[in-house]
Amino acid sequence: MSYCPKHINFLVTAGADGIISVYNTESGRQVIGVKEEENEIHALDFCSDGSIYATAGRDRHIRLYDSRTSQITKVMEAPDFKNSDDLTPMSGHSRRIFALRFHPDECHIFLTGGWDNSVKIWDKRMGKEARRFINGPHICGHAIDVEGDKILTGSWVAHDALKLWDFRSLRLEKTVPFPLSTGQSEFLYTAQFCNSEVVIAGGSGTHSAHAINHKTNQDLGGIVLGRNTVQAVDSILDGQLVAVAGVSGNLHIAALC
């Protein structure tokens, strides 16, 4: 789900049933309902000026919606393997998409990632091909974020899962060490920036989320969900307050000093 950045009472939600629901949070009422037939929606985000939101999921198509009407304005279609579409690095995703994130400062640019071990960078004004791509990240949840000139990715892999990339060159800047105990693995489902120096990430390897200073590699603190997988994190006030949730169904909120 995602709030419209220009209208605080405007919330859009979507899920595996393919249904998009638009709510007026002031009245508490659903004002629009849309269904993407035969699709599971795994990712949703607004562009920075609030005029467009985009969805992506199982069918690999990326749909752009007018935020005022929730009518589709463009579909960036995935390759059609049955009709022998040529697959290039700039083609759409070859497997389902789990993350979609608009650039916070450039309203036309967004990033997607999923099971095909790639992150694609798109311009919503262009056709169905991506502008650029990063090869490698295995994205299985909301694990792509952008802050300034840096891209953060969290992969569902055992080790070296949390990475920072330079947005301009798309070169790997560093792998951020995720705190592990003996015998543990990382397997991250979610990752995001808290501010320009701190990231938070979590998953199924440690059943925990940790805030980490990516410049010093210092672990600033963690939240453990027992034996339950972490699937969602968020933060406000430059990371002073973080929220963590997952399979347990419980929401954990903590203050970082």
The span from the CA of 31 to the CA of 21, in Å, is 8
The span from the CA of 199 to the CA of 2, in Å, is 20
- The class level of CATH for 2-200 reads mainly beta
The span from the CA of 142 to the CA of 174, in Å, is 20
Secondary structure of residue 252 in the 3-state scheme: strand
Phi-psi region of 243 (alpha: psi -120 to 50; beta: other; left: phi over 0): beta
- The domain spans of the chain are 2-200
Burial 14-43 (b: 16+ CB within 10 A, else e): beeebebbbbeeeeeeeeeebebeebebbb
Q: Would you write out the chain's pLDDT as a tens digit for each of its 257 residues?
A: 898 888 878 899 999 999 999 998 888 888 999 999 999 999 999 999 999 999 999 999 999 999 999 999 999 999 887 776 677 889 999 999 999 999 999 999 999 999 999 999 999 998 879 999 999 999 999 999 999 999 999 999 999 999 999 999 999 999 999 999 999 999 999 999 999 999 999 999 999 999 999 999 999 999 999 889 999 998 888 878 888 988 876 778 787 65
Tokens of 10: 């405007």
Q: Would you say 252 and 242 are in contact if contact means Cβ atoms under 8 Å apart?
A: no
Tokens 């997952």 correspond to what residue?
246
